[in-house]
């Protein structure tokens, strides 16, 4: 399941890209695409730049990826923007990352509205700075009527905490007579997760050469297809995304069957 790209790959021209998009759309594309956007810091270090420069460059890739996913007809794009463990990073880096939603949505929101993209967020809001949460909630409010791609930011998100919280809610509902033990199955349990309004991801992409999930959607990714690349997130382009989807389209998803 491992696909590695060379950094020197030549990118298609706009007309070639358009032709490739139309060809890919002839076959089923992932309904829900999840991406672990990794490698911003290493991208900056390779260029003797501060780590925050990598995060700023990565923000531009979020825009391009979102618009291409929308063009392809993907219904949901979940981006792992900040984990519950990322608070351990240097204070100045965390503070900068928390300013990115303001900067990104401040410039990109009109384009999202125009292109019928709906913004959502999953994660623990109580720890987020007021200005970060305000920017996200404003985007969610202004795009709530949109019916195209759902751009879902996993911000201050951790899958183990999510699962534990779901278990606690199940136990509480069972104790209060809201849920019978006999009614609990995978589908019901999934309704207690932060992704209750989403289908499970069909495809997970992780950049930067790391081959692990890093506490991301552990329940939801049980039967997802994985695609890994050495390309650092700021270098991830339209060709890489299209290639990942082409690989996905060639796979047979058997869900444990033959």
Task: Check 38, 40, 156, 235 and give the catalytic one.
Answer: 38
Q: Please state, in angstroms and rounded to a whole number, the distance separating the CA atoms of residues 222 and 147.
A: 27
| b (16+ CB within 10 A) / e for 155-174 | bbbbbeebeeebeebbeebe
- Using only the alpha carbons of the chain, give its radius of gyration: 19
* Positions of E strands within 89-149: 118-122
CA 243 to chain CA centroid, Å, is 17
> Could you give phi then psi for residue 122, rounded to 5 degrees?
-125, 140
Collapsed DSSP state (helix, strand, coil) of residue 114 = helix
Residue 19 CB contacts under 8 Å (≥ 6 apart), including other chains? none
Helix (H) or strand (E) holding 140: helix 130-143
- 38 given a catalytic annotation: yes
- 86 given a catalytic annotation: yes
Q: Please state, in angstroms and rounded to a whole number, the distance separating the CA atoms of residues 87 and 68.
A: 30
* Positions of E strands within the chain: 32-36, 76-83, 118-122, 150-157, 203-206, 225-228
Task: Check 12, 86, 115, 146 and give the catalytic one.
Answer: 86
Report, as residue numbers or ranges, the catalytic residues. 38, 86
């Amino acid at each position: 399941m491992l696909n590695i790209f060379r950094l020197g790959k030549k990118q298609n021209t706009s007309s070639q890209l358009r032709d490739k998009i139309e060809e890919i759309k002839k076959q089923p594309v992932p309904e829900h695409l999840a991406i672990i956007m990794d490698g911003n810091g290493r991208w900056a270090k390779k260029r003797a730049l501060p780590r925050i420069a990598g995060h700023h460059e990565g923000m531009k890739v979020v825009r391009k990826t979102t618009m291409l996913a929308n063009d392809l007809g993907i219904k949901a794009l979940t981006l792992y923007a900040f984990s519950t463990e990322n608070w351990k990073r240097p204070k100045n880096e965390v503070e900068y990352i928390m300013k990115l939603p303001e900067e990104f949505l401040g410039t990109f929101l009109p384009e999202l509205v125009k292109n019928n993209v709906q913004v959502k967020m999953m994660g623990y809001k109580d720890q987020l700075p007021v200005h970060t949460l305000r920017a996200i909630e404003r985007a969610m409010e202004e795009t709530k009527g949109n019916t195209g791609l759902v751009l879902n930011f996993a911000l201050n998100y951790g899958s183990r905490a999510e699962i534990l919280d779901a278990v606690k809610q199940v136990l509480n509902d069972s104790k209060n007579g809201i849920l019978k033990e006999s009614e609990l199955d995978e589908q019901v349990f999934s309704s207690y997760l932060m992704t209750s309004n989403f289908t499970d991801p069909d495809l997970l992409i992780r950049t930067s050469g790391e081959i692990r999930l890093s506490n991301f959607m552990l329940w939801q990714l049980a039967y997802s297809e994985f695609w890994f690349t050495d390309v650092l997130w700021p270098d991830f382009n339209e060709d890489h995304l299209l290639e990942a989807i082409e690989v996905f389209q060639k796979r047979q998803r058997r869900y444990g069957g033959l």
